[in-house]
């Protein structure tokens, strides 16, 4: 394979596939020394560009799978917009879309091994190369998004509860236990690579912070919170319609975004515009909460408090172990039916008052805090031991 200078250029899924137009600010010189004209734009030109984009031999498998994904994605959006109940709700596209995304990401991982292996992803910037670690890491997000596509379909829900409960627990509660299988790129590393002398510096600075904020929102609310509601069957069929809206948005930000990156590289889109389109998918996903957020948050205060607790645990410096332990505890609470999916905020306030009162009286006043911690640890240990010897109990039930 030819050597590639990754310091000044970027490689992506369809890097060499677009028509050979001059890059912005550059032109090709003819043999006579004069500048060549831009190729004519028309149906013939678009057809040739399309054929070269998806049907050339180089990276051929990846291109064809990418085309299959794009076609399904457009069809899925049309089904949602035209008639949700008739075309979307029971569509097999809800199954084929996540499977195709996994194949697409897998072919990218196997194909683009020549990309630099660096900690910054390279996507949230307008200079430098995209990282191979970013490509591999994307598989993690494609998997957890694919899980929601499958988990929120009624045709699979009961079967998962009865036969695939280990997978359910792994994706609903222990997602970040197996996260280390994939490399991690840091948004903070991308921030460090921004150049203040560039005109786009403040644009990407703001966009980096927007991306990080949405990532946290997606992780704890779109991810954990919605999965908890589905685990307890506490989300209505009408609400599931809006969950799928967040999934469609997620498909854009995990898979379609790679195509935007290519258009930016080839000079078809300015970097700022490419990234603005990418960031717009955040708003699309968040729009679901404009319709159902109040209902989701107010109807299940106990689950919301659990998610807030997880977000706080996740913000503790060097908190991976604390967060993992917290998620294990959450899994036990849900497994044994100790989470009340109903109630009200007044019920929550009363329970919090009781817990604080007991802790203050028995823990601090009577000096039994260490003993209480030991008791809790003993219960957790015995619970885990019981779960090992009674794995069938983990299957839960459909409420």
Give 3's pLDDT tier (boundaries 50, 70, 90). Answer: very low
Q: What is the mean pLDDT of residues 349-364?
A: 68
Structural tokens at position 55: 């049907």
% helix, strand, coil for the chain, step of 5:
70, 0, 30
- Phi and psi at 29, nearest 5°, equal -95, 140
249 and 332 housed in the same domain: no
238 and 363 housed in the same domain: no
Q: What is the mean pLDDT of residues 261-271?
A: 69
Q: Would 304 be classed as within a structural domain?
A: no
- Asked whether residue 327 carries a pLDDT value surpassing 70, the answer given is yes
Q: Would 352 be classed as within a structural domain?
A: yes
293 and 319 housed in the same domain: no
Q: What is the mean pLDDT of residues 52-72?
A: 80
C-beta of residue 250 within 8 angstroms of C-beta of residue 215:
no
For residue 176, what pLDDT is reported? 92
- Asked whether residue 300 carries a pLDDT value surpassing 80, the answer given is yes
- 181 DSSP assignment: G
> Which of 114-123, 147-156, 194-203, 355-364 shows the highest mean pLDDT?
147-156
Q: What is the mean pLDDT of residues 189-201?
A: 65
- Asked whether residue 380 carries a pLDDT value surpassing 70, the answer given is no
CA distances from 351 to 176, 301, 307, 354, 363 (A): 29, 12, 17, 5, 17
> Which of 96-110, 182-196, 281-295 shows the highest mean pLDDT?
96-110
For residue 306, what pLDDT is reported? 93
288 and 329 housed in the same domain: no
Q: Would 11 be classed as within a structural domain?
A: no
Q: What is the mean pLDDT of residues 38-52?
A: 58
Q: Would 62 be classed as within a structural domain?
A: yes
- Asked whether residue 75 carries a pLDDT value surpassing 80, the answer given is yes
Q: Which residues pair with 130 in a beta bridge?
A: none
Give 47's pLDDT tier (boundaries 50, 70, 90). Answer: low
137 and 174 housed in the same domain: yes
For residue 210, what pLDDT is reported? 80
Between 190 and 252, name the one with better pLDDT.
Answer: 252
127 and 100 housed in the same domain: yes
Q: Is-above-0.85 flag for pTM? A: no
C-beta of residue 171 within 8 angstroms of C-beta of residue 230:
no
In percent, the amount of the chain with pLDDT more than 70 equals 65
78 and 126 housed in the same domain: yes
Q: What is the mean pLDDT of the chain?
A: 76
119 and 204 housed in the same domain: yes
Q: Would 26 be classed as within a structural domain?
A: no
- Phi and psi at 123, nearest 5°, equal -85, -40
Q: Would 40 be classed as within a structural domain?
A: no
- Asked whether residue 364 carries a pLDDT value surpassing 80, the answer given is no
Q: Would 9 be classed as within a structural domain?
A: no
- Asked whether residue 250 carries a pLDDT value surpassing 50, the answer given is yes
253 and 389 housed in the same domain: no
331 and 238 housed in the same domain: no
Query: What is the domain extent for residue 218?
Result: 45-299
375 and 274 housed in the same domain: no
For residue 45, what pLDDT is reported? 61
290 and 338 housed in the same domain: no
Give 268's pLDDT tier (boundaries 50, 70, 90). Answer: low
C-beta of residue 363 within 8 angstroms of C-beta of residue 133:
no
Question: From the DSSP assignment, how many helices (H) and strands (E) are in the chain?
Answer: 16, 0
Between 84 and 123, name the one with better pLDDT.
Answer: 84
For residue 272, what pLDDT is reported? 74
Q: Classify residue 321 by burial, with Cβ atoms within 10 Å: 0-12, 13-18, 19+.
A: exposed
Q: Would 51 be classed as within a structural domain?
A: yes
Q: What is the mean pLDDT of residues 97-113?
A: 92
* Total domains present in the chain: 2
């Amino acid at each position: 394979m030819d050597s590639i200078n990754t310091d000044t250029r970027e490689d992506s899924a369809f890097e060499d596939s677009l028509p050979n137009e001059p890059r912005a600010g550059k032109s090709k010189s003819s043999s006579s020394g004069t500048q060549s004209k831009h190729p004519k734009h028309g149906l013939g030109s678009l057809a040739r560009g399309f054929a070269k984009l998806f049907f050339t031999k180089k990276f051929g498998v990846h291109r064809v799978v990418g085309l299959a994904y794009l076609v399904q994605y457009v069809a899925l959006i049309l089904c949602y917009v035209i008639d949700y109940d008739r075309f979307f709700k029971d569509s097999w596209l809800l199954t084929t879309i996540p499977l195709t995304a996994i194949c697409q990401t897998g072919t990218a991982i196997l194909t683009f091994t020549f990309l630099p292996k660096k900690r910054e992803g390279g996507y949230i910037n307008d200079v430098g190369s995209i990282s191979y670690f970013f490509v591999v890491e994307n598989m993690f997000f494609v998997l957890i998004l694919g899980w929601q596509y499958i988990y929120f379909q009624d045709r699979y829900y009961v079967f998962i509860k009865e036969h695939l409960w280990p997978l359910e627990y792994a994706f609903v509660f222990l997602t970040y236990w197996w996260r280390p299988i994939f490399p991690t790129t840091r948004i903070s590393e991308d921030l460090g690579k921004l150049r203040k002398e560039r005109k786009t510096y403040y644009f990407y600075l703001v966009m980096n912070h927007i991306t990080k904020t949405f990532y946290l929102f997606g992780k704890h609310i779109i991810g954990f919170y919605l999965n908890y509601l589905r685990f307890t069957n506490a989300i209505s069929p009408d609400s599931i319609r809006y969950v799928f809206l967040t999934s469609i948005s997620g498909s854009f930000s995990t898979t379609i975004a790679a195509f935007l990156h290519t258009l930016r590289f080839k000079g078809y889109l300015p970097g700022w515009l490419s990234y603005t389109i990418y960031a717009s998918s955040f708003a699309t996903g968040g729009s679901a909460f404009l319709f159902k957020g109040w209902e989701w948050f107010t109807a299940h205060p106990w689950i919301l408090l659990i998610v807030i607790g997880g977000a706080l645990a996740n913000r503790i410096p060097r908190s991976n172990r604390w967060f993992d332990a917290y998620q294990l505890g959450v899994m036990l609470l849900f497994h044994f039916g100790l989470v009340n999916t109903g109630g009200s905020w007044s019920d929550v306030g009363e329970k919090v008052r009781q817990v604080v009162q007991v802790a203050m009286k028995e823990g601090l006043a009577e000096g039994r805090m260490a003993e209480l911690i030991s008791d809790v640890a003993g219960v957790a240990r015995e619970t885990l031991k019981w779960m090992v010897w009674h794995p069938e109990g983990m299957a839960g039930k459909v409420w």
